[in-house]
Structure 1
Amino acid sequence: MGDTALKVASVAEPANAQVDQLALAMEPSYAEPLQAGNAQAAILWDGADWQGLGLKAAIFAPRSRYVLSGVTRVFEHAPDIPEGIHPSSIIDPTAQVGENASVGPFVVIGAGAVIGQNARIASHVSIGRDARIGDDATIYQGAHIGARVVIGDRFYAQQGAAIGVDGFSYVTPKPGAVEEARATGQITQASQTEGFARINSLGSVVLGDRVEVGANATVDRGTIANTVIGDGTKLDNLVHVGHNVSVGQNCLLCGQVGVAGSTKIGDRVVLGGQVGVADHITIGSDVIAAGKSGISSNVPSGRLMMGNPAMKMDLNIESYKALRRLPRLMAKVARLEKTVFKTDETG
C-alpha cells in the first residue's frame, strides 16, 4: 500500500531502520520505535495507520511471523558457493551430480552417490557411498551424509550435521548390570562385565522431503531396518535421533532433544528444548512436550506433556504447586506434632 515503486535494500528493526530499509514493525508495540527510525516503508500490524506513522508505503501482516518467513526468504544471505564444481573437490567417477549444482572446496562425494539438481554444497562436506539426495538441497560446511542414506527434495543441513552415523548399540557376553537392575532392582558382582561387544548398524537413514537438520545434530543408522524421518520435519541444533527411530511428518525437535533407539513418534509432534525420550516407546501424533520433559512411557495422541517424569501438563502444574507447598505443610505437621506430644504429656 502506498508508493509501490519505493525500493528497499534490506530489512531492519524499526528504531534502526534507514531510508533504504524495510522496517519490521509487525506489532502495535513497535509504533514508537518506528517513528524514532528513518524508514519510509514498513511491515505493519493489521489496521495500523501507516500514513500517521509518517511512512510512504506499508505492507500489512495479519499473521506477522508467517509474513516474516517470506520476508527473510527474499533477503536471505545465501551460502557463498560459486557455481560449478570446485577443482579441489573429490567426486568419484561413478557418482552423479545433477544439473546446476554448486560444489564447494574439499567436498568428497563417494562412489555411486546421486545428487539431485540445483544442489548447493558448501566446503568440507562428505557424502558417502550410494547416498541419494533429491533436488534443491542446501548443505552447509562440514556436514556429513553417510553411506546409503536416502534424502528427499529440498533438504537443508546446517554446519556439522551428521546423518547416518553408527548407532550406539552394545551387548555384554553375559547378562550385565543394566539387565540385572531391571529384573531384580539391584546390582551384584554376578553382573560385572569386562567389556562390551559392538552391534554394528546394517541399516541406514531415510529422510523425506523438506527435512531440515540443525548444526551438529546427529541421526543414527538403524541396526537392521532404517531410521526414518518424515516429510517436513525439522531438527534443531544438537538434536540426537537414535538408531531405529521413526519420526513422522511435520514434527519439530528443538535444541538438545535426545530420542533413544527404536522409539516411534507420530506426526506434528513438538518436543521442546532438552526433552529426553526413552527407548522403545511410542509417542502419538499431535503431542507437545514442554522443554526439559523426560518421556519414559507411551504418550497417546493429542497430549500436552510436561515435567520429569512427563505427565499431562495440568497434572504437572498441580504437582509443582503441591511441591512448593511442602515446606509450609511440613512446618504445619511439626507444629501439630508438638501439640499432640504436649497433650500426651499433660494427659
Structure 2
Amino acid sequence: MKYTLGDIAQALGAEAAGDLSLPISGVAEPAVAERGELALAMEPTFAEKLGEGAAEAAVLWPDADWQAMGLKGAIFAPRSRYVLAGVARVFAHELHMNEGIHPTAIVEPGAEIGEGARIGPFCYIAKGVRIGPNALIFNHVSIGLDVRIGADAVLHPQVHIGPRVVIGDRFICQPGATIGGDGFSFVSPSRDAVEEARESGTISEASRTTGFVRINSLGSVTIGHDVEVGANATIDRGTISDTRVGDGTKIDDLVCIGHNVQVGRHCLLCGQSGVAGSTVIGDRVVLGGKAGLADHLTVGSDVIVAGASAVSSHIPPGRVMMGNPAMKMELNVESYKAIRRLPRTMAKLDALQKLVSKHFPNG
C-alpha cells in the first residue's frame, strides 16, 4: 500500500515540511533508500549516508536542514525511536489467515470461540476454553483445559498454553512459547545436600539423597492486558497460587519465568533473562539480557538490572543494578576499575617487596 509523506506525518502526529504529496511505498536505511522510499535518518550521524541513497524524503532530527540535503520533503522526529515505532506500525506487514476454523483444527465441545476469531491448521482447543473476538491463532497451537484468552490475541505457530491460564486483551505470543507448564518443584524425602550446603557450606554422607519427589503445580498463570511474550519463552504455573504478569509487560525471546513469580505492570524482560520461583517484581522494572534473579526475592518498582547481572538479594525501588553479584551501578563501576588496576598495583607491591628485602634481608 502506498502513502504520501503527509499521510505518514499525520499518522505519526509529527511535524513535516516540503512536498507532502510525495508518494511513499516503504522505508529504508539512508544509504540504500530508493526513490519513493522514506529514508530513516533520525540522528545527525546519518546525514552523510543520505547522499549515498536516492531517497527524496526522510525522517530527520529536529531543525535539520532538509533542503541542503537535496530532499523534497521531510518528517521531523524529536524522539527518534518513538517515531520509528510509529513508522513501523504504518508499514507493518499484515498477518494473513483464512477466516474461520481450519478443517484440521480440533475444537473440543464446550469451547467458545469469539466472533471473527480465526484458528489455523492442526491447532488443539480443549474443553472449556474461551477465546475472545478477532483472535488470530496460527498453526500447531495447543490451548489447554478452561483457558481464557481476551480479545484481539495473536498466537503464532507452536505456542502451547497450559490448563486454566487466564490472559487479557491484545495478547501477542511469538512462536514456540510455553505458558502454564509445570513448575520446577522437587523435594527429597530427607534433608538433602542442597539444604546442608546452604547451612554449613559442606556436604556429608548423610545428606546424599536417593532421589526427588515432584511437587505438582496446582495453580496456573494470570496475564494482564497488552502483554507480549517472545519466541521460546516460558512461564511456569504456580504451585498453589497463580504466577502473574501485569498489564503492558513485554517479555523477550528465551526468557524463563519460574513458578509463583509475580511480575508487575509495564516491565521489560530482555532475552535470556531468568526469574527464579516466588520472586516478586514491581512495576516498570527492566531486566537486561541474561540477567538472573534468584528465588524468593523482592525487586521494587522502577529498578533497572543491567545485562548479565546476577541478583541474589532484595532490591529497593528506583535502583540501577549491575554486575555479579549485582550491586548499585556506580559501585560496580568503581569495583571494575579497581580490578583493572590490580595487576599494576600487584606489580608495584612486588617491586616494593623486593626493595624492602634487599635493604632488610633479615626481615
Quote the Cα distance in structure 2 between the aligned partners of 1:318 and 1:17: 44
- Structure 1 residue 346 displacement after superposition: 6.5
CA spacing shift, 1:164–1:338, aligned 2, 3 Å: same
Residues 79 and 140 in structure 1, CA contact (< 8 A), matched pair in contact too: no
Report the counterpart of residue 22 of structure 2 in structure 1: 6
RMSD (CA atoms): 1.3
Identify the match of residue 112 of structure 2 among 93, 96, 99.
Answer: 96
1:283-325 Cα distance to aligned partner (Å, 9 max, x none): 0011111111000000000111000110001111111111111
1:67 partner letter:
V
1:190 and 2:206 correspond: yes
1:37-186 matched pairs, under 5 angstroms: 37-186=53-202
TM-score of the superposed pair, with normalisation by structure 2:
0.93
Name the SS for the 1:38 alignment partner: coil
2:350 maps to amino acid: A
CA distance in 1: counterparts of 2:271 and 2:233, whole angstroms: 9
- Tell me what 2:312 maps to: 296
2:351 to 322, 331, 335: 335
Matches for 1:303-318 after TM superposition, within 5 Å: 303-318=319-334
Q: 1:139: Cα distance to partner?
A: 1.0
How many residues end up aligned between the 2 structures? 347
Percent identity of equivalent pairs: 64
Any conservation in 2 of the 1:276–1:294 contact (CA below 8 Å)? yes
Which stretch of structure 1 is more off in the superposition, 141-150 or 53-62? 53-62
Q: 1:113 to 1:329 in 2, by over 3 A?
A: same
Aligned mates of 1:84, 1:2 — CA distance in 2? 46
Measure the CA separation in 2 of the matches of 1:8 and 1:321.
50
Deviation at 1:34, TM superposition (A): 1.5
Match of 1:248 among 264, 268, 274: 264
After superposition, what is the alpha-carbon deviation per residue over 1:131-151, rounded to whole angstroms, capped at 9, x for unaligned?
111111111111111110001
Any stretches of 5+ residues in structure 1 without a counterpart? none
Contact 1:219 1:241 in 2 (8 A): yes
TM-score (norm 1): 0.97
CA contact (8 A) 1:251 1:267 kept: yes
Asked if the contact 1:79/1:122 (under 8 Å) is kept, the reply is no
Counterpart residue type for residue 57 of structure 2 = A
Greater mean deviation of Cα atoms: 292-301 or 84-93? 84-93
Letter in 1 for 2:348: K
Letter in 1 for 2:279: T
Shift of 1:2: 2.6
Q: Find the residue that maps to 1:99 and give its secondary structure.
A: coil
Moved over 4 A (4+): none
Alignment of structure 1 residues 203-282 onto 2, 5 Å: 203-282=219-298
1:19 aligned onto 2:15: no
Greater Cα offset, 52-61 or 256-265: 52-61
Give secondary structure in 1 for the equivalent of 2:103: coil
Cα displacement (A) at 1:129: 1.0
Query: By how many angstroms is 1:223 displaced?
Result: 0.1
